[in-house]
Amino acid sequence: MKKTTRILAAALAAVMLFCLAACAPAESGGGPSPGQSAGAYTPGDYTASAQGYGGEVTVTVTFSEDAMTGIQVGENQETPGIGGAAIESLPAKIIEGQTLAVDGVAGATFTSNALFAAIEDCVTQAGGDVEALKAAANQEPEGPAEQVELTADVLVIGGGGAGLSAAIEANNAGAEVILIEWMAFLGGDTGRAGGGIEAAGTRFQEANGIVDTPEDFEAFILSRGVTYRNPNLLTVMTQQSADAVEFLAALGADMSVQVAGHGSPVARAHRPPEGSAGQNIVQPMIAEIERREIPVYLNTRGVELLTDESGAVAGARAVNEEEGIEYTIHAKSVVIATGNFASNNEMVAEYDPRLKGIGTNSSPGSQGDGIVMGVAVGADLENMEIMRVRPNLPGGVNNAIAVSIDGVRFMDETNTSDTIFVPGDDRHVTVNENREEKYYWYIMDDAAKTAGEAGLQNYLVEGDYFSAETIEELAGKIGVDAETLAATVAQWNEAVAAGNDTEFGRASAMDAPIAQGPFWAVRVTPNVHTTAGGLRIDESARVLDKEEAPIAGLYAAGEVTGGVHDGVSAVCGAIVYGRIAGTSAGTYAK
């Protein structure tokens, strides 16, 4: 059996230095593998930087006359556990293969690209041939995949917030646990969460003078217009939300700050004073998984549930394509925690055809695997048509309007948390529903563009923004009818002068007209942030069939489930039901 792929160390901090010595495939006897050398270099150390996700990433590459012998990544602001996964793995692969023909780490694209760019710069400085290094390395013909069998009491499929909390609680119940994760790192979408974990009636809120109750939390979620077939699931989540915060705090998460988000009238999203709210949640759980020595298999995708003669779920098949391994994992119970399906546009469009071709900011691993596996053993689904779609308009930009490809304004631009839960709040969806391309334009004058420069940084990509001295000229550059766009801007300026947006009721960020050129148009692409549908579960996180009977041995938690969250309280639902699923699966197994 190959060695278990271990968790990235929780100490993967942004200030850590990674120095990787040269290594080679065992069969080569050292040095570059045949056919992989890029030729001569000028020996020495060379340093270059490139823009990553959090800022500049600086890399120093050491060369001998005929090989890269070391890659050192300097201090950086990349996210531990996400960008950190690229920093941990890519330099080693480049050194081992003496090639730049290495796949980036899915989910850490910005960091991967920064590393490649900086290393390529160093190769050029050393006189090497970048294009030769980018050529695919010679490989031996691949044989059949290695077959590996594993056994555990509980198998957890998915290593986000739900899966991590499930693994810990299953272990607390006395079960031996195996955790598999398709991505190269743990954390899932929970690790990307920007707002923290919403909870009500916590001691942290009390310490900050915030009065809140689980009942108020539940009422707020219901006010968003989501219909739950089993409202008991929502009640359990809100009632146990404070316990979920305590669970995380006991592991070392900082819950000291509370903020109001997503229209909430109360500050109930718990997070640290600074830094990543999502990493603050997942890193303490990852450290606990490591401390308990729970086996974790990264880059390993669950593909099929196993059942016994009675129909009870008894494990799963999984594959690690990178290492050419097929796993058969025997378990007494299984927890599915594979996340939402926002990154699977085929599945998204199946349940809402208006969204065919739309992008996503969800994890690349959010493919709906758990839903497919669950349905194959008889699981029922609910709320599959409910998805949260972000308009994605730039923040901090005033005195600007959004117009469709036809040049017509279509929404209140300050409603940046638009969802499609409530009819009427989906204008950013309906404006493109019959179009193959899903985008619109943000129109502003030079004063607004200058004042809002900080919020526009990620939008000013070549080919996605244009400027012109007149609105009519700008219309020509973006392919919009000039007369229509001019009329739209004129109508908006009249609304600004009157202080009343009679079309869509906008009441802020409209203190100046779009009047002084040059005028600017910035392309904006909406995306599916998350999906709220999935496997039907009960209050014990048991997966239910179409008769609402539990499927023996099968549990689920997080965004793979369909009756728990509304896309806003997703982190809370993941931790609450992750813990419930882990306890239930562990108890069942024992």
The neighbour count for residue 9, using CB atoms within 10 Å, is: 15
CATH number for the domain formed by residue range(s) 150-385+529-589: 3.50.50.60
What is the rounded distance in angstroms from the CA atom of residue 9 to the CA atom of residue 12? 6
What is the rounded distance in angstroms from the CA atom of residue 133 to the CA atom of residue 119? 11
Contact in structure between 77 and 55 (CB atoms under 8 Å): yes
Q: What is the pLDDT of residues 212-242, one digit of tens each?
A: 999 999 998 888 766 566 889 999 999 999 9
* 150 phi/psi in degrees, rounded to 5: -130, 160
- Tell me how far the alpha carbon of residue 403 is from its chain's centroid: 28
pLDDT of residue 364: 87
Contact in structure between 590 and 333 (CB atoms under 8 Å): no
Contacts with 164 (C-beta within 8 Å, 6 or more apart), sequence order: 179, 186, 187, 190, 282, 285, 286, 289, 578
| Nearest Cα residue to 179 out of 1, 283, 312, 300 | 300
Which 3 state secondary structure label does DSSP give 73? strand
Asked if the 18-134 domain carries CATH number 1.10.3110, the reply is no
Domain ranges of the chain: 18-134, 150-385+529-589, 392-525
Bridge partners of residue 237, in order along the sequence = none
Which 3 state secondary structure label does DSSP give 383? coil
Which 3 state secondary structure label does DSSP give 127? coil
| Nearest Cα residue to 181 out of 156, 208, 159, 209 | 159
Bridge partners of residue 296, in order along the sequence = 179
CATH number for the domain formed by residue range(s) 392-525: 3.90.700.10
pLDDT of residue 400: 96
What is the rounded distance in angstroms from the CA atom of residue 493 to the CA atom of residue 65? 66
pLDDT-flagged residues of the chain (< 50): 1-38
pLDDT of residue 15: 32
| Nearest Cα residue to 165 out of 588, 555, 562 | 555
Query: How many helices (H) and strands (E) in the chain?
Result: 17, 24
What is the rounded distance in angstroms from the CA atom of residue 178 to the CA atom of residue 420? 37
